[in-house]
Amino acid sequence: MFATDIIKMVYSPRSTFKKIIENPKYWGALLVLLLFVGLQVAFDYAQQSKTYFEQTAPNVGLIYNWNSNTTLWSANSGVTVSNNYEDFINQTIYVGPPYYVYYSVFGNSSLQFDAANSNLVSVTLETSNVDCGPTGFQNLTLLIKIVQPQSNPQKLTLTLFTLNNSDSYFQQDLTSAFLGTSGIWNNLTIPVGTNTQMWQSIGNPSWSNITRVKLDFEFSTNTSVTINVGGLFFRSKYITSPQIDGGTVILNAAYTYGTQFIFEWIILTAIVYILIKLFKGSLIWKPLFIAIGSALAVLLIRSLIFLAATPLLPNVYYPYELAYGVSYSLFGTMAYPATQVSILSSPNLAVYNHIVETTLAFQAITEFAAIAIYAWLSGLIMIIISSMLPEFSLVKRMAVAVIGIVITMLLLIILIGVV
C-alpha cells in the first residue's frame, strides 16, 4: 500500500480496495500502523509541550505531612505543638486515571500551638532543600487562625533559612498582610524568590535551597495563646511532562496509540466478520483483515488534522487543584473532566472556565475531525463489503459497518480509554 493508494481512497476507494482484496499484503496495513503511531506521538508531544502542571513542595501527596506531623516542627520554650482534629482545612481534589479517587490534600487535622502567659510563639518547620530560584517555586501559601487571644499579633514575622545556616536567611514582616480577625482562618500567599523585593536578606542566603520555615507571633502583653496553622506549602512552579521526562512521554504515547490501532484493527475486523456470518455471508478472513487495516489509513488524516490544530492550542496552566484530574478525552486531547467541576472552589472554577474558553477552537476541531473520520471509515467498510460480497444489500452493508464501528469504539473505550 503506497502513499498513492491512501490518496486514492479519497477519490477512488472502490478500485483501491478491489486491488487490495485481490492481492492482500500485510505490509501495507503495517505501514499505516507505523505512520499512525508516529503522527499520534508527534501530536501528543506537541499538546503536552503546551500543557503546564503546577508543582508543589512537598508534592501534593505529602503536603499533609508538613501540616500534621508534629515531629517536623519545633517551638520556643513554653509552647506545645499538637494536632487539632476538630478544626482543619478540608480541601479535596479529584485524581484521575488510573486511580479515579477524591483526595484530601491537607489531611484530617491542623497544627496547634499553645502557650500560657506568653507574648511570643515562635515555631519552625524543617523542610528539605526547596528550590525557590528563578525556575523554582514562586509562592509560599499557608493558613493561620488565631484562636486566642481575641486580637491580632502585634507583629508577625516569616523567616526562610537556607543551607542549614542559622546566620543566612530571608525575612519578611507579615503584620500588615495579616488583616484577618481572631477566630477566622486567614489565607496568606507570599511571593518568594529572586523576582520579589519584599524580603530582607541577612547573611548570604540562597533562594535555591530553603531548608527551614519559621513563624514568629509577637503579642503586646503576656496572655494565653492558641494558634492553628495549616495548608503550608510552596507552589507556583509550572512544568510540562516533556520537561520532566520527554522519553517517557514518547514511549507512553507510542504504546497507547500502537495498542489502539492494533486493538481497533483486530476488533473491528472480528465484529464485521461475525456480523457478515450472521447475515449468511461467506468470506475469507485475510483479505477482510488487510482491507480494514488499510482502511484505517483514514486515521492518518485525523492525526494530521490534530497536528495542524495544535498551533491553536495556547499554553495551558493547570493549578495543582486541577492538575491531578487532567486526563485524555476519548479522542486523545487533554482536559480536566467537566463531570468533576462541582468540587472546585470559585477561584479554581474560574481557572477551569478560562481554560475551556481559550481551548474551545482546538477542542472543537479535533472532536469534529474524529467524528467525521469515523463516519468516513464506516463508508469505507461498506465499500469493502460490497467489493467482497456484491450480493449484500445496501441495508446489510450499512448495518454491518455502523454496528461494527459502534461496538469497536465502545470496546476501545473500555479497554484503553481512547478511540
Every domain of the chain and the residues it spans: 3-52+241-415, 56-238
Confidence (pLDDT) at 100: 94
Confidence (pLDDT) at 235: 98
Asked whether the predicted pLDDT for residue 128 surpasses 90, the reply is no
Confidence (pLDDT) at 11: 74
Q: How many CB atoms lie within 10 A of CB 224?
A: 12
Provide the mean pLDDT of the chain.
Answer: 94
Report the distance separating Cα 400 and Cα 383, nearest Å.
11
Could you tell me which CATH number the domain at 56-238 has?
Answer: 2.60.120.260
**Quick one: pLDDT band at residue 5, thresholds 50, 70, 90?**
low
- At 190, give phi and psi (nearest 5°): -115, 120
Confidence (pLDDT) at 211: 95
In tens, the pLDDT along 229-270 reads: 999 999 999 999 999 999 999 999 999 999 999 999 999 999
DSSP H or E run through 92: strand 92-95
Confidence (pLDDT) at 2: 52
- At 286, give phi and psi (nearest 5°): -60, -50
Asked whether the predicted pLDDT for residue 6 surpasses 80, the reply is no
Residue 121 contacts residue 115 (beta carbons within 8 Å): yes
Alpha carbon 362 to chain centroid, angstroms: 17
- Residue matched to cell numbers 480536566: 336
Report the distance separating Cα 38 and Cα 170, nearest Å.
49
Q: Going by DSSP bridges, is the β-strand pair 110-130/210-240 parallel, antiparallel, or unpaired?
A: antiparallel
Asked whether the predicted pLDDT for residue 334 surpasses 90, the reply is yes
